[in-house]
Amino acid sequence: MAAYATGEADVLNSLLPSYEAEGFQVFVQPSDAILPPFMKGYRPDAIALKGDRKIAIEIKRSESSASASVRKLNELFSQHPDWELRVYYVSSYSADKVIEVASLSAIERAIKQVRELQAARRDLPALVLAWSTLEAVARALLPDVLARPQTPNRLIEALASEGYLTPSEADTLRHAGSLRNVAAHGQLDMSVDQRMLNELIGVLGTLADILAKTPKTAA
């Protein structure tokens, strides 16, 4: 099983909400005290525990360079069927890729589409598109800071640190970002809180208004 993101920490940040939504208790960089004896000398990047299910999570920089170490890990875990090993790979291409800044008109069209999806009670697609639009408008406001793909937490931190979000708005966006991650990892039957979605759409409108008043904004 593999997933791709901008860095090892970003991969973990993107994975945690989906594991937690499934009821797992996740320990990042677990201590020796909670690891089984067979993992002596090896510490996974995280473990996820729920009842009888025990998962070790390993993040690797690239699939080709990690193949030998992953084979050894597979051999280790094959002797302990009560544990599952999941390896996720970081894409160096994604980490280096600079994303083009969206125009104001494109952002405004996207916000209109989000509102239309919400009006049609298609809340999950509205949430996913709203988050993509949030990243687009944030990148337009902070092109030097947010030139590359961002995790939800880093995106919120960047906007908050520049004064574009109130503490209350930042809290709402953290919740929205967690739900967006869960949806991105395939949980398609979850419900979306209408108040949270309304607040997210409100933030989009506010940021778009700020962008419209920013000098040299693309049309």
| pLDDT tens, residue by residue, 136-178 | 999 999 988 887 777 778 889 899 999 999 999 999 998 898 8
Q: What is the DSSP string of 116-181?
A: HHHHTT-HHHHHHHHHHHHHHHHHHHSTTTSSS---HHHHHHHHHHTTSS-HHHHHHHHHHHHHHH
Assigned domain for 151 exists: yes
Lowest mean pLDDT among 67-81, 84-98, 192-206: 84-98
φ, ψ dihedrals at 28, nearest 5°: -85, 135
Residues 140 and 191 occupy one common structural domain: yes
Does residue 218 lie within any of the structural domains?
no
Position 70 in a domain: yes
Residue whose structure tokens are 């960047």: 158
Last residue of a domain, one of 95, 124, 156: 95
Q: Per residue in 7-16, pLDDT tens? A: 677 777 777 8
CA distances to 22, 31, 37, 72, 76 from 48, rounded to whole Å, are: 10, 13, 17, 21, 18
User: DSSP per residue over 181-212, as a string?
Assistant: HHHHTT--S----HHHHHHHHHHHHHHHHHHH
Beta bridge partners of 84: 55
Q: Per the structure, how many domains does the chain have?
A: 2
Would the pLDDT of 93 be above 70?
no
pTM (whole model) above 0.95: no
Q: Are residues 24 and 76 in the same domain?
A: yes
Taking the C-alpha atoms of residue 66 and residue 59, their distance in angstroms, rounded to an integer, is 10
d(CA 177, CA 17) in angstroms, rounded, equals 9
| Pairwise pLDDT comparison (34 vs 8), residue with the higher score | 34
Residue type at position 137? V
Q: What's the confidence (pLDDT) of residue 63? A: 58
Q: Is the pLDDT of residue 84 over 90?
A: yes
pLDDT tens digits, 70-82 = 889 999 999 999 9
- Tell me the β-bridge partners of 89: 60
Say whether both 79 and 140 belong to one domain.
no
CATH of residue 179:
1.20.120
22 is a domain residue: yes
3-state secondary structure of 70: helix
Give residue 14's domain range.
8-95
Domain limit, last residue, from 34, 66, 95: 95
pLDDT of 195 higher than 80: yes
Who wins on pLDDT, 79 or 68?
79
pLDDT at 5 over 50: no
- Domain boundary, last residue among 95, 126, 146: 95
pLDDT at 217 (0 to 100)? 52
